């Protein structure tokens, strides 16, 4: 297997469980965490490596607990977490190589952006004097670096925290809703930033509810539901693994009814619906490939012009819906 | 063939949303609604039982003197010579510690949470402006203070009437009470309502506001006490007016007696009555000023 | 009540010391569901304040539902509903109580307010939970209660500030569905959001603002352009397809495992279909590349300094 030169993404080896990654930097091994009667994580096993991984799940699924456990802020009741082979809760050295950007908005009052980032840099013993400004430039806050953080909008505060996490040049970046409050232009830039960081070999774990952005940023996702691992891997691959659920394909053409009656004749088709809102047919099938092969021939024979063919459950959104149902 | 029995026809009436076609009030209706809601909150209605304890215990406490008085009257109904009043109407329009604690408890509870929980933007996105908000809130606290001061007076009056030889004679002989008491109570209720709400409006934390109210009263009364000194010996002093707590009582005396009470720290001060009234109004204006500034939600 | 434009803004400018939040904005918006997207300190909260009559414009005028905001802000507010982004609900009261009280504060008589509160809470999907204090509510339930208080007064227009913020994907879908339905009740929506996806899904009309200036205002459909480039997924057999297309004179390339072909007309579309059929390749996906609102926005807003 030739690795692509520009993106040293840790790829799952063919015989490995998709939840596990070869050359993992973060290993979560049968971890359970509970707070009194509430079980936050239940026998969770997964790992993360270089590249961007999405961490998904409904509210309360345990994502925040996992992120805090990985960065050593919370202890595990059972099982173990290893970051670069060490216990993040006890080993201070490995702490310096990780950064967590939590979702809450707490920022120290009275500091400017530059002061805050410099403070974090000093706290971690960063010797490079240009690092704070460099980090602020990366998140495009350099021109407002001397304004107080408590005057910032939500999106700007989030970016300040990201800059503070970058200034220590961590190997492992764990981010909780980092795009929160950012406007569309900033979002696009941040997505590009995370992809770049992942591409340069860092382990980036991003938790977000905006699934289409997670799709753009990350190569693989880990989905938690009720503290348990619900799914892991590339989202298309996950979808393929759910082969007991029917797929839906939207087909727009110039003569829908003609095409519909032809499609009904196929064994692979289990249902055809007219969707006026999308101006086409929604075809249900359990054999996506067989349908895909038969479709062009059918259309050609019936002289129906195909305008659009689109799998409707290809997205992370539809996958999520299925998993959480 | 037959007349329609109704099952051939069908219709769907309600698909989930019914627009509102009825009457719609503006500022007046909104202000009144806020007034009612604030009173409910202060009295603990529609909330847990715990919230109702304070107001009703208070009501009980302030009514005790009236009940005791009536009780004495009843017990001595045949021995008029032994009868004594433990409290006059004038004295009853007094500052009871219970009432003070009530203001310090309830005014913050009615004012601060709206600010702390950031409910104010929801309020002012409605047909309601700052003035309306203040009127509703101060009005609610004032109404409750009025009721809690007036009800015991009513008990006292009616009780006295009943235990006297002739209820009718008592009534006709005490007609002045019927206007003096409400007037004095209004003077008091409005004053403490404005002060309580004004201080509460300065902060979003109830405890701080409550401490502020008590602190203001305590501080001014101690200061005034120190400056005035032993007024029973030396005679009264205008510095008695510093005591924010006692201020409305001078007006009460003006209402009941027509002049400053000789037994008060203001005794002997020239133009005492006018000074007291002026200071009272100044404090009210200051309080209203604070409220006006704190609830100006429209920027120029 | 249904006639007339929803919102008319004419040369609207709002200056604060040090920053111009709104800069010479002119808009004419129809009833329906409108998305408001902004970048670079676009002053979304300033816009809402101006619409509610809680701030006075430095220049220009605003007309909401036919009423001039400067001359009669009270009447404007009686037609509007507002759902802020931040937490704004009294926590120690029940949802039913809060929504009902806010109904009264909107000017409804007490009984009607209670009735409508009940109806609206049904609509937003709060069932028995409505009788519990709000302090125990999840984010999703709080958002729904916030929406309920905005709707209880039967407004003509609701202002929604990031209604899906903090919601998980399921909650977001449900909220967007609710917002989409509002149109069918005769309620117009002005939804401010950073998520262009939400706008594309729910709004008929989009207004984009950058640093206080109008970037674009138009129907969502009309803003999305078709590019003439068709993307085809034949499952890894891209090279074969490209070859086949080339033989028919159609230019195509393989990109990220997909084929992108320049199709200039109906005949070319049919030719594409026939070639795929002849080569017996599986047709997984065929789409004319649409710009997404994201691209429209990024392309048209100015580069942030």
- Measured between alpha carbons, how far is B25 from C104 in angstroms, rounded to an integer? 9
CB contact under 8 A, C86 and B124: no
Strand pairing category for C258-262 and C252-255 = antiparallel
The percentage of chain A sitting over the pLDDT mark of 70, rounded to a whole number, equals 95
Residue B235: what pLDDT? 67
B1 pLDDT higher than 70 = no
For residue C67, the surrounding DSSP H or E stretch is: strand C67-68
Looking at the structure, do residues A91 and A183 belong to the same domain, yes or no? yes
Which residue is associated with the tokens 């649409």? Answer: C290
Residue B3 has pLDDT above 60, yes or no: no
Does residue B250 sit in helix, strand or coil? helix
Span A118-165, pLDDT tens digits:
998 988 888 888 889 999 998 888 888 888 888 888 888 888 999 999
Q: State pTM to two decimals.
A: 0.85
Distance of alpha carbon C258 from alpha carbon C289, whole angstroms? 12
In Å, how far is B212's CA from the nearest CA of chain C?
23
Which tokens hold the place of B38?
């604030």
Per-residue pLDDT tens digits for B57-94? 888 888 888 888 878 877 777 776 666 677 777 777 77
Residue A192 pLDDT greater than 70, yes or no: yes
A221/A215 Cα distance (integer angstroms): 9
Which chain B residues are within 8 Å of C78, Cβ to Cβ? Answer: 24, 26, 126-127
C282: three-class secondary structure by DSSP: coil
Residue % of chain A over a pLDDT of 90: 48
CA–CA distance, C160 with C148 (Å, rounded to integer):
12
Q: Tokens representing B283?
A: 């404090």
Task: Write the pLDDT tens digit of every residue in A280-296.
Answer: 999 999 888 899 999 99
- Distance, in Å, from the CA atom of B252 to the CA atom of B172, rounded to the nearest integer, reads 22
Q: In the prediction, which pLDDT does C305 show?
A: 39
The C-alpha atoms of residue C238 and residue C242 are separated, in whole angstroms, by: 6
Taking any CB pair shorter than 8 Å as contact, residues of chain C touching chain B are 49, 52-56, 73-75, 77-78, 80-82, 84, 86-93, 97, 101-102, 104-110, 112-113, 116, 119, 123, 149, 153-154, 184-186
- Looking at the structure of chain A, the number of domains it has is 2
Which pLDDT does position B5 carry in this prediction? 62
Domain identity same for A202 and A314: no
Task: Please list, in sequence order, all residues whose beta carbon lies within 8 angstroms of the beta carbon of residue B269, skipping any fewer than 6 positions away.
Answer: B236, B237, B238, B240, B260, B275
Which sign does the torsion angle of CA B106, B108, B111, B116 carry? negative
CA angle C55–C60–C66, rounded 5-degree value: 80
Q: Kindly determine whether residue A185 and residue C297, on different chains, have CB atoms separated by under 8 Å.
A: yes
C-alpha pair distances (Å), C139 with each of A69, A107, C87, C131, C162 = 23, 22, 10, 17, 13
Of A143, A183, A296, the CB nearest to C194: A183
Which is higher by pLDDT, B107 or B179? B107
- CATH number of the domain residue A305 falls in: 3.30.70.100
Residues A174 and A202 in one domain: yes
ipTM over 0.90: no
pLDDT at A8: 46
Q: Provide, as residue numbers in chain B, all residues whose Cβ is less than 8 Å from the Cβ of C87.
A: 117-118
User: pLDDT per residue over C76-128, tens digit each?
Assistant: 999 999 999 999 999 989 999 999 999 999 999 999 999 999 999 999 999 88
What is the reported pLDDT for C50?
Answer: 93
Assign domain C226-292 one CATH number from 3.90.1150.10, 3.30.70.2030, 3.40.120.10, 3.30.930.10: 3.30.70.2030
Q: Tell whether A319 and A250 lie within a shared domain.
A: yes
Structural domain range at position A252:
242-324
Section C229-250 average pLDDT: 89
Token pair of B96, please? 């009871």
The tokens for B37 are 């809601």
Q: Beta A51-56 vs A38-48: how paired, if at all?
A: unpaired
Same domain, A198 and A315: no
Question: Which pLDDT score, from 0 to 100, does residue B14 have?
Answer: 65
Minimal-distance CA residue of chain A relative to C42: A183
DSSP state, B177? H
User: What's the token pair of residue B116?
Assistant: 């702390």
pLDDT in tens, B233-281: 666 777 778 888 888 888 888 888 887 777 777 777 777 788 888 999 9
Q: What is the pLDDT of residues A21-53, one digit of tens each?
A: 888 999 999 999 999 888 999 999 999 999 999
Minimal Cβ distance to A209: which of C39, C169, C286: C169
| Residue A179 belongs to domain with CATH number | 3.40.50.300
How many angstroms separate the CA atoms of A179 and A176, rounded? 9
Task: Inspect the interface and report whether the beta carbons of C273 and A324 lie closer than 8 Å.
Answer: no
Rounded to a whole number of angstroms, the distance between the first and last alpha carbons of chain A is: 37
Same domain flag for A311 and A174: no
The number of angstroms, rounded, from the C-alpha of C263 to the middle of its chain's C-alpha atoms is 32
- Helix, coil or strand: residue B42: helix
Helix axes B97-116, B50-75, angle to 10 degrees: 160
The CATH architecture to which C7-221 belongs is 3-Layer(aba) Sandwich (3.40)
Per-residue confidence (pLDDT) for residue B252, from 0 to 100 = 84
Asked if residue A91 is part of any domain, the answer here is: yes
Over residues A164-189, the pLDDT tens digits come to 999 988 999 999 999 988 888 888 88
Task: Compare CB distances from C38 to A180, A183, A297 and report the shortest one's residue.
Answer: A183
Token pair for residue A182?
């950012």
CA nearest C36: which of C215, C186, C250, C276?
Answer: C215
List all chains that touch chain B, counting a touch as 3 or more CB pairs closer than 8 Å: C
Would you state the torsion angle of the CA atoms of residues B33, C49, C28, C76, taken in this order, to the nearest 10 degrees?
20
3-state secondary structure of A74: coil
Closest to A197 (Cα-Cα) out of A315, A308, A99: A99
Q: Which residues contact B230 (CB under 8 A, 6 or more apart)?
A: none
Nearest to B26 among C78, C101, C184 (CB): C78
Residue A7 has pLDDT above 70, yes or no: no
> With contacts defined as CB-CB under 8 Å, which chain A residues touch C167?
59, 209
Last residue of a domain, one of A213, A240, A267: A240
C6-54 pLDDT, tens digit per residue, is 999 999 999 988 888 899 999 999 999 999 998 766 688 889 999 999 9
Q: How much of chain C exceeds pLDDT 90, in percent?
A: 61
| Beta-sheet strands, E only, within chain A | 26-35, 38-48, 51-56, 78-83, 98-101, 172-176, 203-207, 220-225, 228-233, 247-253, 269-275, 280-285, 306-311
Average pLDDT, chain A: 87
Inter-residue contact A108 to A130 (CB < 8 Å):
no
pLDDT over 90 for what percent of chain B?
Answer: 33
User: Judging by beta carbons within 10 Å of its beta carbon (0-12, 13-18, 19+), is residue C15 exposed, middle or buried?
Assistant: middle
Maximum CA pair distance of chain A?
A: 72
- pLDDT at res. A4: 42
pLDDT of residue A310 exceeding 70, the answer is: yes
Task: Say which of B18, B124, B127 has its CB closest to residue C119.
Answer: B18
Chain C residue with CA closest to A312: the answer is C285
Q: In this structure, what token pair is assigned to residue B111?
A: 């004012």
What integer best gives the mean pLDDT of chain B? 84
In this prediction, residue B4 has a pLDDT band, given cuts at 50, 70 and 90, of: low
> Terminus-to-terminus CA distance in chain B, angstroms?
74
Query: Taking CB atoms and an 8 Å cut-off, how many pairs form between chains B and C?
Result: 111
Instruction: Please provide residue A79's backbone torsions phi and psi, each rounded to the nearest 5 degrees.
Output: 75, -170
Residue A12 has pLDDT above 70, yes or no: no
Nearest Cα residue to C97 out of C112, C118, C82, C80 = C118
A180: nearest CA partner in chain C: C165
Q: Please name which of A96, A102, A98 lies closest in space to residue A126, comparing C-alpha atoms.
A: A96
- CATH 3.30.70.2030 domain position(s) in chain C: 226-292
SS in 3 state form for B188-231?
HHHHHHHHHHHHHCCCCCHHHHHHHHHHHHHHHHHHHHHHHCCH
**Secondary structure letter of residue B279 according to DSSP:** H
Q: Is residue A165 part of a domain?
A: no
Provide the shortest C-alpha distance from residue C58 to chain A (in Å). Answer: 23
Kindly determine whether residue C84 and residue B123, on different chains, have CB atoms separated by under 8 Å: no
Q: What is the pLDDT at residue A182?
A: 86
Token pair recorded at residue C250: 């159609």
Interface test with B, best of C99, C104, C153 (most B CBs within 10 A): C104
Which of C169, C269, C281 lies closest to A211 in CB terms?
C169
pLDDT in tens, C159-175: 999 999 889 888 998 99
For residue A158, tell me if it sits in a domain. Answer: no
Write down which residue in A212, A240, A268 finishes a domain: A240
pLDDT one-digit tens code per residue, A64-89 = 999 999 999 999 999 999 999 999 98
Question: Is there contact between C and A if contact means ≥3 C-beta pairs under 8 Å?
Answer: yes
**Selected residue of C161, C168, C204 to mutate for chain A interface (largest A Cβ count, 10 A):** C168
* Whole-number pLDDT of residue A193: 92
pLDDT at A1: 41
Q: Which residues of C touch B118 (CB under 8 A)?
A: 84, 86-88
């Amino acid at each position: 297997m030739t690795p692509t030169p520009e993106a040293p993404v840790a790829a799952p080896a063919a015989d490995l469980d998709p939840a596990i990654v070869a050359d993992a930097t973060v290993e979560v091994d049968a971890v359970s965490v509970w707070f009194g009667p509430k079980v936050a994580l239940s026998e969770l096993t997964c790992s993360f490596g270089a590249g961007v991984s999405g961490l998904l799940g409904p509210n309360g699924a345990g994502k925040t607990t996992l992120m805090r456990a990985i960065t050593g802020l919370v202890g595990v009741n059972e099982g173990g977490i290893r970051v670069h082979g060490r216990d993040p809760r006890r080993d201070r050295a490995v702490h310096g190589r990780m950064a967590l950007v939590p979702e809450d908005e707490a920022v120290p009052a009275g500091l400017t952006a530059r002061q805050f980032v410099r403070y974090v840099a000093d706290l971690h013993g960063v010797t490079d004097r240009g690092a704070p400004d460099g980090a602020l430039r990366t998140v495009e806050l350099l021109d407002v670096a001397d304004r107080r953080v408590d005057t910032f909008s939500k999106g700007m505060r989030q970016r300040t925290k990201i800059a503070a996490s970058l200034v220590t040049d961590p190997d492992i970046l764990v981010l909780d809703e980092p795009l929160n409050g950012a406007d569309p232009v900033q979002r696009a830039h941040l997505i590009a930033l995370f992809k770049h960081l992942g591409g340069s070999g860092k382990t980036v774990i991003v938790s977000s509810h905006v699934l289409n952005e997670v799709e753009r940023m990350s190569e693989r996702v880990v989905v938690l539901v009720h503290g348990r691992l619900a799914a892991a891997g590339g989202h298309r691959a996950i979808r393929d693994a759910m082969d007991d659920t029917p797929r839906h394909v939207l087909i727009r053409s110039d003569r829908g009814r003609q095409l519909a009656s032809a499609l009904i004749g196929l064994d692979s088709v289990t249902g055809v619906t007219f969707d006026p809102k999308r101006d086409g047919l929604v075809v249900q099938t359990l054999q996506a490939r067989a349908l895909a092969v038969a479709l062009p021939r059918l259309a050609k024979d019936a002289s129906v012009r195909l305008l659009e063919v689109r799998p409707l459950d290809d997205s992370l959104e539809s996958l999520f819906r299925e998993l959480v149902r | 063939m037959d007349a329609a029995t109704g099952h051939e026809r069908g219709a769907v009436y309600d698909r989930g949303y019914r627009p509102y076609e009825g009457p719609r009030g503006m500022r007046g209706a909104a202000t009144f609604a806020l007034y009612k809601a604030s009173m409910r909150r202060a009295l603990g209605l529609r909330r847990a039982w715990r919230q109702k304890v304070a107001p009703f215990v208070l009501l009980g406490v302030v009514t005790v003197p009236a009940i005791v008085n009536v009780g004495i009257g009843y017990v001595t109904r045949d021995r008029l010579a032994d009868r004594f009043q433990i409290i006059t109407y004038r004295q009853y329009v007094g500052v009871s510690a219970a009432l003070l604690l009530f203001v310090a408890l309830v005014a913050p509870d009615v004012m601060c949470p709206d600010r702390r929980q950031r409910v104010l933007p929801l309020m002012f996105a409605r047909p309601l402006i700052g003035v309306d908000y203040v009127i509703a809130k101060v009005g609610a606290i004032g109404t409750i203070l009025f009721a809690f001061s007036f009800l015991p007076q009513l008990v006292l009056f009616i009780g006295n009437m009943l235990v006297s030889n002739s209820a009718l004679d008592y009534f006709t002989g005490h007609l002045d009470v019927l206007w003096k008491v409400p007037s004095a109570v209004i003077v008091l209720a409005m004053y403490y309502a404005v002060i309580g709400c004004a201080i509460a409006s300065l902060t979003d934390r109830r405890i701080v506001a409550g401490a502020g109210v008590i602190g203001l009263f305590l501080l001014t009364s101690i200061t005034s006490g120190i400056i005035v000194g032993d007024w029973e010996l030396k005679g009264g002093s205008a510095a008695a007016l510093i005591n924010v707590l006692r201020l409305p009582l001078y007006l009460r005396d003006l209402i009941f007696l027509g002049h400053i009470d000789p037994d008060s720290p203001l005794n002997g001060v020239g133009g005492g009555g006018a000074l007291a009234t002026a200071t009272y109004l100044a404090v009210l204006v200051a309080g209203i000023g604070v409220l006006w500034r704190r609830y100006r939600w429209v920027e120029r | 009540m249904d006639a007339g434009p929803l919102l008319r803004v004419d040369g609207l400018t709002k200056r604060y010391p040090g920053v111009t939040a709104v800069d010479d904005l002119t808009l004419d918006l129809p009833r329906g569901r409108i998305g408001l997207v902004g970048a670079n300190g676009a002053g979304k909260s300033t816009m809402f304040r101006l619409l509610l009559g809680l701030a006075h414009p430095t220049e220009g005028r605003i007309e909401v539902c036919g009423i001039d905001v400067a001359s009669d802000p009270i009447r404007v507010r009686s037609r509007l509903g507002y759902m802020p982004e931040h937490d704004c609900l009294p926590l120690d009261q029940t949802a039913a109580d809060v929504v009902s009280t806010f109904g009264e504060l909107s000017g409804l008589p007490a009984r009607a307010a209670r009735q409508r509160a009940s109806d609206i809470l049904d609509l937003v999907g709060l069932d028995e939970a409505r009788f519990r204090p709000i302090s125990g509510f999840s984010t999703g339930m709080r958002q729904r209660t916030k929406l309920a208080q905005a709707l209880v007064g039967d407004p003509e227009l609701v202002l929604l500030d990031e209604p899906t913020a903090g919601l998980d994907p399921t909650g977001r879908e449900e909220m967007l569905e609710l917002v989409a339905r509002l149109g069918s009740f005769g309620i117009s929506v002005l939804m401010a959001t950073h998520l262009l996806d939400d706008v594309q899904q729910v709004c008929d009309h989009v207004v984009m603002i950058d640093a206080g200036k109008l970037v674009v205002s138009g129907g969502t459909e009309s803003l999305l352009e078709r590019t003439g480039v068709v993307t085809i997924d034949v499952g890894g057999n891209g090279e074969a397809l490209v070859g086949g297309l080339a033989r028919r004179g159609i230019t195509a390339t393989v990109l990220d495992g997909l084929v992108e072909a320049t199709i200039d007309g109906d005949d070319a579309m049919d030719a594409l279909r026939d070639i795929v059929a002849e080569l017996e390749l599986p047709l997984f996906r065929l789409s004319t590349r649409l710009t997404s609102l994201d691209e429209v926005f990024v392309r048209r807003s100015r580069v942030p300094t």
